[in-house]
Structure 1
């Protein structure tokens, strides 16, 4: 069971290519880093891997089949700004149950306190909101997680807690992780290999 991109390219209408001919295979349990300057298409490539954007060229497959268009997606993505990924009109318990019902063990591992569940998004900090976004992405059917600058805006303690939780879960489930970041130290600590979008 693998996530594979073959000859993937993307550009906006009438614009130059952001990238072309990108090949990537991620195996279960593998952690792959994607780095490079801003504006080179790292986030867009992550969105293509997650099925949130369609490539102009090439294709992405999961387990040798096209990415599913219905049901819970096996490739989930967590973005840098959690407030943009959640519905501000929902309380946190509803946001958390949007995809599935996480168990208390996962919530505890991510440091999510029970009292936060009845709060509105604006009542929580960015780090607290990001914990919910990560929990929501780690459903039982998630096989690959794309972390796009997932902890860049957070303090060091929160970063460490979230990455500890994610890597623990990934080990247990043999879940692959794609880490999109500018942080070289983070990639050195987490990644088995790194793809440079600058080349």
Structure 2
């Protein structure tokens, strides 16, 4: 007859193997998601660039230098070339009236929903540690900083406000829209 400890060890081993398999699958999916988001972002940028090029009124400068964004020979560039910016993992559009929350990725929607619930209940802004607790995440620095980065990005795009350093709430117009049109 097998011992109780032996049976427990056997079940623990089975559970650990399942966790390892699921972690490998999650890592694979995260990598695949990162590639897909990067590709999506490149298409968004391409569409934006084509829109700029095809916009009326861009016919003022003609020639190869204009098409390459280079100054004409012998002419100094009036503005310095911007440094290559880091590519964001997801695109957060600038908030405008009528823009639905569904324009954001699920992680950003979760942040908006948590803050919307707080707003509806008449409670104040949330810190990133409090958001981590709301989402069932461990309040470890990596998770909290990831939330802070997302909240700061939403703030920069007009979705959130930061009434006090490190505390985030829905922007007034976003709060009035409750999830978009």
Q: TM-score range by the shorter chain?
A: under 0.3
* TM-score of the aligned structures, taking structure 2 as reference length: 0.25
* TM-score of the aligned structures, taking structure 1 as reference length: 0.23
Which structure dedicates a bigger proportion of its chain to strand?
A: 1
RCO comparison, higher one (Cα < 8 Å, 6+): 1
Which has the larger Rg? 2
Which structure dedicates a bigger proportion of its chain to helix?
A: 2
